[in-house]
Amino acid sequence: GNSVTQMEGPVTLSEEAFLTINCTYTATGYPSLFWYVQYPGEGLQLLLKATKADDKGSNKGFEATYRKETTSFHLEKGSVQVSDSAVYFCALRGGSNYKLTFGKGTLLTVNP
Amino acid sequence: EAGVTQFPSHSVIEKGQTVTLRCDPISGHDNLYWYRRVMGKEIKFLLHFVKESKQDESGMPNNRFLAERTGGTYSTLKVQPAELEDSGVYFCASSQDRGQKKQYFGPGTRLTVT
C-alpha cells in the first residue's frame, strides 16, 4: 500500500536559517504529492502540491520538487521566519484514489 | 466563506463513555472525510461520505465507531464505548469534487480518553 516517511522532529532553527524537511514515499502508479501545514490552534492547510514528476510546488517561500527517481518530495525554504513555526505534513494521493496518506508530521520551531 | 468547523475542540471522557464529534463541511461540498491522528503517528483516513452515502469506510478501526451524515450536510462520529487507544485528534475535511479538488480541513477535535 501507499506510505509516506518524513523526517522526525522536532526541528528547531533560528530565524533566517535554511530549512529542509525530508519526505520519501512508496506508492503504486503516479501519485500526487502534497505538503500540509498546521499552525497552532488551526486546521491543516495545503501549503503546496505537485502532480507529476519534476513538478515543483511553491508557496510562501517554500518549495518542493517531485522526484520520481528518488521517490522524494523534500520541503525547503531559504530563510525561515518565526511565523513559520508549525507542524508540517507530507502526504500523497494515489491515482484516482481520493484518500490522503500522510507522514507523521514534523514540528518546526523558529526562534527569533 | 466559512471553513470546515468541528465541535467540540477538545473532549475529555472516561473509558467506557460515549462521545460524539461533529463536523460541518463547507457549504456545497458533497464530499466529507474523517481522519484521525493518534499521538506521534500518521494522520490516517477513517471514512468518506458523498452526500449522505458512505463511499469508503475502510479506515474505521472497529465497530465502536459510527459515522453518520443525515441529509448530506453535517456529519457526526460517535465512539461508543470509548477506549484509551481512541485518544487522538480527529480531523474532518470536505471537498467539492471527488479526488479532483483539494480537501479543506477543519481544526480538529482533540479527544482524550482517561
Q: Does B20 touch chain A (CB under 8 A)?
A: no
Residues B64, B71: Cα–Cα separation, whole Å: 23
> Quick check: B63 pLDDT over 70?
yes
Compute the nearest-CA separation of B98 from chain A (Å): 6
Residues A27, A74: Cα–Cα separation, whole Å: 16
Higher pLDDT, B23 or A28: B23
B97: nearest CA partner in chain A: A98
When computed from its CA atoms, the radius of gyration of chain A, rounded to whole angstroms, is: 13
Higher pLDDT, B100 or B114: B114
Min mean pLDDT across A19-33, B9-23, B88-102 is at B88-102
User: For residue B102, which residues of chain A lie inside 8 Å, CB to CB?
Assistant: 46, 49
Q: Are strands B53-56 and B43-50 parallel, antiparallel or unpaired?
A: antiparallel
Higher pLDDT, A33 or A1: A33
Inter-chain CB proximity B105 and A44 less than 8 Å: yes
Considering chain B, what is the average pLDDT of its residues?
A: 92
Q: Does A17 touch chain B (CB under 8 A)?
A: no
- What is the pLDDT, as a whole number, of residue A97? 66
Q: What value, to the nearest 5°, has the Cα angle with vertex B36 and ends A83 and B97?
A: 85
Question: Pick from B91, B99, B107: which is nearest to A41 by CB?
Answer: B107
User: Above pLDDT 70, what percent of chain B?
Assistant: 95
Span B25-42, pLDDT tens digits: 999 899 999 999 998 889
Compute the nearest-CA separation of B111 from chain A (Å): 15
Question: Left, alpha or beta for B59 (phi > 0: left; psi -120 to 50: alpha)?
Answer: alpha
> What kind and span of H or E run contains B105?
strand B104-105
- What is the pLDDT, as a whole number, of residue A8? 85
Question: Pick from A45, A100, A103: which is nearest to B45 by CB?
Answer: A100
Q: How confident is the model at residue A42 (pLDDT cuts 50, 70, 90)?
A: confident
Compute the nearest-CA separation of B32 from chain A (Å): 11
Per the CB < 8 A criterion, the answer to whether A41 and A28 are in contact is no
- What is the pLDDT, as a whole number, of residue B24? 97
B96: nearest CA partner in chain A: A98
User: For residue B104, which residues of chain A lie inside 8 Å, CB to CB?
Assistant: 43
> What kind and span of H or E run contains A38?
strand A32-38
Q: At A72, list the grid cell.
A: 522524494
Q: Does A99 touch chain B (CB under 8 A)?
A: yes
Q: How confident is the model at residue A95 (pLDDT cuts 50, 70, 90)?
A: low
Compute the nearest-CA separation of A43 from chain B (Å): 3
Query: Region A82-96: what's the mean pLDDT?
Result: 91
